[in-house]
Amino acid sequence: MQVLKDEIRNKILITAESMFYQKGFKETTTRNIADEVGIRVSNLYLYYENKEAIFCGVVDEFYRYFTNAFETFLDHQDKKTRKDADISYFLQKIIVTDQKKFVIITDKCQGTKYEGFKQKMISILMNHIKAQIDKNLRKDELIMYILAKNFIDGIIEIAKNYKDESWLENCINTLVKYHMNGMKHLM
């Protein structure tokens, strides 16, 4: 009997992930999820107390993993192989393994506790950029914000339009090259 409950719980999360990816948090209802899973809404509430709890079930683990990995990567805290130290490789790996979760948490989470996730990524990157550039430019917070936001927005758009790994590699490499070449002029 427990196996059946775990199967339903997993089906709820898989279905919810797909619906949150397609419609976003606000437009997805518990009724939509329950109907797609093939259970009554009242049964869905036996597994999750509300839509927010389902959303957290979909993205919580990814949020912790990505935030930690992104900060660690930018702080160069990890001794990595050359390939693992490459921002292009890091971003490709995230999108290939967790594309839907990445898009959901960066672009489709309005109305949840994760609504500020994209801004958090921008702030982390902005602080990293600030530490790398000329002292005189560091004073202009708006420029630092624009540089970080443009890069993060580019990654999100690439993730939303993901086609295949070859396409992804080309797009990410192009964006990173564009960003890094522009940054060189500020250092």
Q: Work out the pLDDT band at 98, boundaries 50, 70, 90.
A: very high
Global pTM reads 0.87
Q: How many CB atoms within 10 Å of residue 41?
A: 13
**What's the token pair of residue 39?**
């259970």
Architecture of domain 2-184: Orthogonal Bundle (1.10)
d(CA 24, CA 29): 10
d(CA 76, CA 166): 27
Q: Work out the pLDDT band at 140, boundaries 50, 70, 90.
A: confident
Find out whether 107 and 100 touch, Cβ atoms under 8 Å. Answer: no
d(CA 116, CA 84): 27
Find out whether 172 and 92 touch, Cβ atoms under 8 Å. Answer: yes
Q: Work out the pLDDT band at 85, boundaries 50, 70, 90.
A: low
Q: For the chain, what are the domain ranges?
A: 2-184
d(CA 58, CA 56): 5
Rounded to 5 degrees, φ, ψ at 85 are: -85, -5
